[in-house]
Amino acid sequence: MPQKYKAVRGTADVLPYDSYKWQYVENKMIEVSRLFGFREIRVPVFEHTEVFTRSVGDTTDVVQKEMYTFDDKGGRSITLRPEFTAGVVRSVIEHGLTNEALPLKVCYIGACYRYEKPQAGRYREFHQYGVECIGAPAPSADAEVIALAKYLLESLDISDLRLELNSIGCPECRPKYQAALKEYFKSHEDKLCNTCLERLDRNPLRILDCKSEVCSGLKAQAPVVLDFLCDECKTHFEGVKRHLEAMNIKYVINPRIVRGLDYYTRTVFEFIAEDIGAQSTVCGGGRYDGLIEQMGGPSVPALGFAMGIERLLLVMESRKAAFPRPKPCEVYIAPIGERAAEYASKLCGLLRAEGFSAATDLAGRSVKAQMKYADKIGALYTLVLGDNELESKVAVLKDMKTGKQVEVNLPDGLITAVYDQTINSAMDDLTKSIEKMEGLFNINE
């Protein structure tokens, strides 16, 4: 295939035999969000460029190097969203949602775009799930958002990630820390990479986010932000830790976490996986108390997190997580001849109306070829329709797993038989689950 007809570098197709994994994870995200009182919000995939430059920060790598920005036909500068928070905040302000009952709790799932080097778990088009909690200033809000992330990860059978926690202060105490950082890195100016030399005067905090070996070595001896927190930030951070401990959520203090976006204040956190290579952060977030006011809204505190779905799936697969298989075709009807094909279409319609997945031949194949196809798609039951079955209105329903066959009257007997088989199968699964629980908890002892 010519290169110009292949997927653009940094993008990936989700093929039919993998999409069920995405559906399972996304459904779990919505379910867990509901348990914590978060409702879905959907915002456009592109915004006016100023939405991101004003909120994310013009000294960040996202704004300087990674945004997909273009002029539309009206000459307006438009950017594909590199992250969700800025667009969500814009929507909250535009629609006056801060006037509703607070805190406002929203969640989202969708695609984002950043121009960066593609690697395992990182694409130029990637997908994020995240939450935003707006109007909640208390430390308990920070802990609850972290608890939501942990609950979701554990519900996806990921329970061995490390939670790293930090506070990066507020506009009152951070300038003192930035001054100390600038003074420290000035003394090592000759060793900084070119990017960090540019950051030194504009935003020295960004140097802590540099991944180069030289700068990483220097920042190990840099001043620690926790030593510069004001009394209010210290009190808030201690409150977050107490709430986490009350919920039995273990954490590690990492004073080098700054996150990659400028809008963060106070609490920042990351969930880290050690076994997926360089891109080890599965989930990251924190507070951004000044962002809504900065973007023209009222002074309302807020916080949230985001996690990349591609990276999350990578973690799940590395741990051999069990994905529930999608429901297969329940009944495949194999017709012989045109009259039978018409009746097969009718039967499929009746079965689908009752909530069963049904399929029939769409390619004019022989019965033998149809049976091979039914087996390949994992059909649970098959039914062959020929002239005899059409005349007698009786056909044989075959269980593809056991080979058991039962005669059914058409059409009502077919639907009844499928109902019965489905109920029997469900009862068998329930019995196995009960037996498993009895073994785990010694119920009979």
Q: What is the DSSP string of 10-46?
A: T-----TTTHHHHHHHHHHHHHHHHHTT-EE----SE
Checking if the pLDDT of 151 tops 90, the result is: yes
Return the percentage of the chain with pLDDT > 70, whole number. 92
> Which pLDDT band, with edges at 50, 70 and 90, does 195 fall under?
confident
Number of H helices, E strands in the chain: 15, 16
31 Cβ contact partners less than 8 Å away, ≥ 6 residues apart: none
> What does the alpha-carbon distance between residue 255 and residue 273 come to, in Å, rounded to a whole number?
18
Quick count: other Cβ atoms within 10 Å of Cβ 418?
21
What would be the CATH architecture of the domain defined by 3-173+229-318? Answer: 2-Layer Sandwich (3.30)
For residue 284, which of 273, 296, 272 has the smallest C-alpha distance?
272
80 Cβ contact partners less than 8 Å away, ≥ 6 residues apart: 45, 46, 67, 68, 69, 112, 113
What mean pLDDT value characterizes the chain? 89
What residues pair up with 105 in beta bridges, in sequence order?
133
How confident is the model at residue 278, as a pLDDT? 56
For residues 120 and 292, which has the higher predicted lDDT (pLDDT)? 292
Checking if the pLDDT of 443 tops 50, the result is: no
Checking if the pLDDT of 37 tops 50, the result is: yes
> Which pLDDT band, with edges at 50, 70 and 90, does 113 fall under?
very high
Instruction: Tell me the pTM.
Output: 0.86
In the numeric block, which tokens belong to residue 182? 């600038």
How confident is the model at residue 444, as a pLDDT? 45
Which ranges of 172-308 does DSSP label H, i.e. alpha helix? 174-186, 194-202, 213-219, 231-246, 291-294
Q: What does the pLDDT average to over 124-153?
A: 97
Name the CATH code of domain 331-433 (choices 3.40.50.800, 3.30.450.260, 3.30.70.20, 3.90.79.10).
3.40.50.800
Distances (CA, A) of 183 to 60, 178, 204, 215: 21, 9, 10, 15
Conformation bin of residue 104: beta by default, left when phi > 0, alpha when psi is -120 to 50:
beta
How confident is the model at residue 439, as a pLDDT? 55
- Cβ burial of 353 (10 Å; 0-12, 13-18, 19+) is exposed
Run of H or E residues at 382: strand 381-385
User: Is 187 strand, coil or helix?
Assistant: coil
Classify each residue of 190-227 as buried b or exposed e, where b means 16 or more C-beta atoms within 10 Å of its C-beta: eebbeebeebbeebbbbbbbbeeeebeebbeebbebbe
How confident is the model at residue 13, as a pLDDT? 93
Q: Name the residue ranges covered by the structural domains of the chain.
A: 3-173+229-318, 331-433
> Which pLDDT band, with edges at 50, 70 and 90, does 440 fall under?
very low
How confident is the model at residue 222, as a pLDDT? 87
Q: What does the pLDDT average to over 229-250?
A: 97
How confident is the model at residue 445, as a pLDDT? 42
Classify residue 119 by its DSSP letter: B
> Which pLDDT band, with edges at 50, 70 and 90, does 28 fall under?
very high
Checking if the pLDDT of 320 tops 60, the result is: yes
For residue 195, which of 212, 175, 178, 181 has the smallest C-alpha distance?
212
Is the C-alpha dihedral spanning 139, 144, 149, 150 positive or negative? positive
For 86-113, give the DSSP string.
HHHHHHHHHTTGGGSSSSEEEEEEEEEE
Q: What does the pLDDT average to over 220-241?
A: 94
> What does the alpha-carbon distance between residue 111 and residue 128 come to, in Å, rounded to a whole number?
6
Q: What does the pLDDT average to over 1-6?
A: 80
Classify residue 64 by its DSSP letter: I
Q: What does the pLDDT average to over 348-357?
A: 95
Unique residue bearing structure tokens 């013009």:
58
